[in-house]
Amino acid sequence: MIKIGNIELPDFPLLLAPMEDVSDPPFRRLCKLHGVDMLYSEFISSEGLIRDAIKSRQKLDIFDYERPVGIQIFGGDEEAMAMSAKIVETVKPDLVDINFGCPVKKVVCKGAGAGVLKDVDLMVRLTKAVVSSTQLPVTVKTRLGWDTDSINIIEVAERLQETGIKALSIHGRTRSQMYKGHADWTLIEKVKSNPNIEIPIFGNGDIDSPEKALEYKNTYGVDGIMIGRAAIGNPWIFNEIKHFLKTGEKIDPPTLAQKAEAAKNHLIWSCEWKGEKLGILETRRHYSNYFKGIPDFKPFRTRLVTANELNELFDLFDEILEFEKQLI
């Protein structure tokens, strides 16, 4: 069993990475349905929370069936981070996570996300501010460093642990890599094997198959794996990995009918959460991922991203089921 504060997770838990414009409640619900052990919100601006920005507030929506679930915040100002942690505490998540890893320019330019990697002292102060302002367990997600000349993750891990955080997730890339190249898990392994480190260490980056999950588990000795982009359009990956780790055998991939059911549920839950118009619009970006690689599917995909009525989309999902019968 892995413990994050008072949160109990199974041995070698699988975590869903917080992803902007992806990790909303409908998507998290699908991943929960398919075996994820720990969920996180999309990252939320501490400044946005304090000034009561509607989009930031909406990201605080969590539901009991998601638990354990963490809310992730980012920012570059100690007072704002402390205040936002108190706001987060009011919606009763299981933990607060701090983002020191987002490489996106608009975040980095504000001295937040991966921008903090340039200033470890600031990173420590921001973390202390959050830890001291909440009774919830605090965790951190970060990267190896700003670039290959300033990799500092071993120092960062030790100093963050001293602030009182309860777990650390490490993406095996630098900020300058963004999402390109390969994640370097050897450095994640060095953090995990550091005798001074006592908190759980979770690895993140490039895990896109059950075979790779087993290989990285055995090779790098991390306490668990965080999966991000590989879960987009593929929430089944969590149960696939769990089954493979347990039995050494692969589960059959999802059928077209199962993919259509997941996409339809995603749509329904998005409409329930955001309203029909926005739900339809925001689910469109997911269809190409759900139905990737299916021969002769392009006409359906085109209609999925242009339909504006729920009934029209439901009829289209029925047509997809009929199409599947032709493929068999």
Residues 91 and 27 in one domain: yes
Residues 19 and 166 in one domain: yes
Residue that terminates a domain, selected from 213, 247, 281 = 247
Residues 222 and 283 in one domain: no
Q: Which of 31, 102, 109, 271 is catalytic?
A: 102
DSSP 147: S
Residues 181 and 212 in one domain: yes
Profile the chain (328 residues) by mean pLDDT over runs of 10 residues: 92 93 92 96 85 72 92 89 91 92 58 69 93 95 78 91 96 72 88 94 94 95 94 95 94 90 94 91 90 84 88 87 68
* Burial state string for 129-143 with b = 16 or more CB within 10 A and e = fewer than 16: bbbebbebbbbbbbb
Residue that terminates a domain, selected from 202, 219, 247 = 247
Residues 234 and 206 in one domain: yes
**Cα atoms in the 13 Å half-sphere on the side-chain side of 159:** 16
Residues 118 and 235 in one domain: yes
Residues 239 and 284 in one domain: no
* Residue 190, CA distances (Å) to 153, 186, 235 in order: 9, 6, 30
Partner residues linked to 226 by β-bridges: 15, 204
Tokens, residue 277:
């118009």
Residue that terminates a domain, selected from 223, 247, 271 = 247
- pLDDT of 143 reads 86
Residue 278 sits in a domain whose CATH number is 1.10.1200
- pLDDT of 68 reads 95
- pLDDT of 326 reads 66
Residues 35 and 167 in one domain: yes
pTM passes above 0.95: no
Residues 128 and 148 in one domain: yes
Query: Which domain covers residue 321, as residue numbers?
Result: 256-327
Residues 219 and 304 in one domain: no
CB 121 within 8 A of CB 62: no
Residue 109 sits in a domain whose CATH number is 3.20.20.70
* Residue 246, CA distances (Å) to 184, 234, 252 in order: 26, 20, 15
> Which segments of 24-183 does DSSP mark as H helices, in order?
25-33, 46-50, 54-58, 78-89, 105-108, 120-133, 153-163
Residues 229 and 266 in one domain: no
Query: What's the CA gap between 10 and 5, in Å, rounded?
Result: 14
- pLDDT of 295 reads 82
Number of domains in the chain: 2
CB 56 within 8 A of CB 258: no
Q: Provide the phi-psi class of 199: left if phi over 0, else alpha when psi is between -120 and 50, else beta.
A: beta
Residues 161 and 266 in one domain: no
Is 102 among the residues known to form the active site? Answer: yes
Helix (H) or strand (E) holding 279: helix 276-290
